[in-house]
Amino acid sequence: MSVDEIYARVFADLRPSLALPAISVRFYRFTSLTSNIRLQQGRLQVKISDLLSEAPEAVQEALAYILLSKLFRQRPPKAMVERYRLHLAEGDLGLRLHAARQERGSKRLEDPKGEYFDLEAVFEAMNARYFAGEIVKPRLGWSQKRSRTILGHYDASHHAIAISRLLDQRQTPKYFVEYVMYHEMLHIKHPVETTGGRRKVHTRPFRTEEKLFAEFREAQAYLKRGLR
């Protein structure tokens, strides 16, 4: 059965009262496993990462249920979600995804020396104070956008840490910039764990060690007050 036929069958199962639209499922060289689906003018268009192009028919069916359920704003069947998660956790898919991100993606960072904070100096200070200098130095830089929702990000594929340019301000407490850097460095020390198809970004050891930051409570309080 072709992938188009799988989506036609799942569509009919979820929405038997609707006329079956023209269906187009294509695989693209994405840098992630994110898939897109839209129904417009009687045509269902699905874009999927080419890393899933050779997935078994049962996995394609599971993804079809997940995407079409999302399109129809309903909860996907638990069995299908588990089937898809298990596939993501099996075999060499993670390695191929990592390689694809390195090959296809790019991490654009601004100069780490900001107007008020030097991220190189912050990293070295945190590495010496909390990690005995054992964290291998990643690429460091300020983000291009002044994000309020993503204050820091560690990209394992490019071994790079980006800190939101929003924090490079006179009024930002030094301890808060240090805390965000420390948090991202913990992601290097405690990588993402996958158990039963579920990814856990902040593991128990991660959370325990995060609280060792000297101004942890102050940083949390500052975060809750909101950033300007």
DSSP string, 186-213: HHHHS--EEETTEEESS-HHHHHHHTTS
Residue ending a domain, among 104, 129, 151, is 104
Q: What total of structural domains would you count in the chain? A: 2
For residue 122 the two structure tokens come to 């912050």
User: Measuring CA to CA, which residue among 220, 215, 199 is closest to residue 151?
Assistant: 220
Same-domain status, 32 and 59 = yes
Residues 85 and 35 in one domain: yes
Same domain, 171 and 90: no
Q: What pLDDT sits at residue 102?
A: 54
Please check whether residues 160 and 198 belong to one and the same domain: yes
In 23-168, alpha helices (H): 57-71, 78-89, 93-104, 119-130
Q: What domain range is 50 assigned to? A: 3-104
CB 98 within 8 A of CB 155: no
Nearest-angstrom CA–CA distance, 141 and 157: 16
Residues 180, 89, single domain; the answer is: no
Tell the residue number behind the tokens 């298990």, with chain if given: 86
pLDDT reported for residue 193: 80
Q: Please list the residues that pair with 43 across neighbouring strands.
A: 22, 40
Residues 8 and 85 in one domain: yes
Residue 111 resides in a domain: no
Give percent of the chain above pLDDT 70. 89
Indicate which CATH number applies to the domain containing 8.
3.30.2010
128 and 214 co-located in one domain: yes
Instruction: Report if residue 201 sits inside a domain.
Output: yes
Are 159 and 87 within one domain?
Answer: no
171 Cβ partners below 8 Å, 6+ apart? 228
Q: Domain for residue 109, yes or no?
A: no
Regarding whether 94 and 158 lie in a shared domain, the answer is no
Interatomic CA distance for residues 167 and 148, integer angstroms: 9
Where residue 146 sits, what CATH number does that domain have?
A: 3.30.2010.10
Quick one: pLDDT at residue 104? 56
Q: What is the pLDDT along the chain (228 residues), one digit of tens a residue?
A: 899 999 999 999 999 999 999 999 999 887 677 899 999 999 999 999 888 888 899 999 999 999 999 999 999 999 999 999 888 877 566 656 655 655 555 567 899 999 999 999 999 999 999 999 999 999 999 998 898 888 999 988 788 999 999 999 999 999 999 999 999 999 999 988 866 556 688 899 999 999 999 999 999 999 988 766
Quick one: pLDDT at residue 103? 55
The per-residue pLDDT for 190 is 93
- 132, 98: one domain: no
Looking at the fold, whether 88 and 185 belong to one and the same domain comes out as: no
Which domain-ending residue is among 77, 104, 131? 104
Q: Select from 79, 104, 129 the last residue of a domain.
A: 104
Is 80 in the same domain as 142? no
